[in-house]
Amino acid sequence: MGCDAANPREKATMRKPLRCHLSLHSWRKVSTEDGSGQFRRCRRCGKEQEPADPPHWSAGGGG
């Protein structure tokens, strides 16, 4: 038997791209399905990252 690209087992064992493994993702902005927010998703591996929340006024970073 040859390799079948549609085989789910083979798809599950695919490796993460080297750049993504080294945390060098290729981020793009994506909107949520309902349009209420945005987040970033890597174009290569699909990892998602929510935007960082702005610091809260009570966090004590000011003068």
Per-residue pLDDT, 55: 59
Interval 4-44: pLDDT, tens: 555 555 555 678 899 999 999 999 999 988 988 889 999 99
Query: Is 32 inside a domain boundary?
Result: yes
User: In which band, very low, low, confident or very high, does the pLDDT at 51 lie, cut at 50, 70 and 90?
Assistant: confident
Query: Is 7 inside a domain boundary?
Result: no
Q: Are 51 and 39 a contacting pair, CB within 8 Å?
A: yes
Nearest CA among 52, 44, 6 for reference residue 27 = 44
Angstrom distance (rounded) from CA 50 to CA 41: 9
Nearest CA among 40, 51, 44, 39 for reference residue 14 = 44
| Residue span of the structural domain in which 38 resides | 17-51
User: In which band, very low, low, confident or very high, does the pLDDT at 62 lie, cut at 50, 70 and 90?
Assistant: low
Query: Is 1 inside a domain boundary?
Result: no
User: In which band, very low, low, confident or very high, does the pLDDT at 1 lie, cut at 50, 70 and 90?
Assistant: very low
Counted domains in the chain? 1
Beta carbons within 8 Å of 32's beta carbon, 6+ residues apart? 38, 39
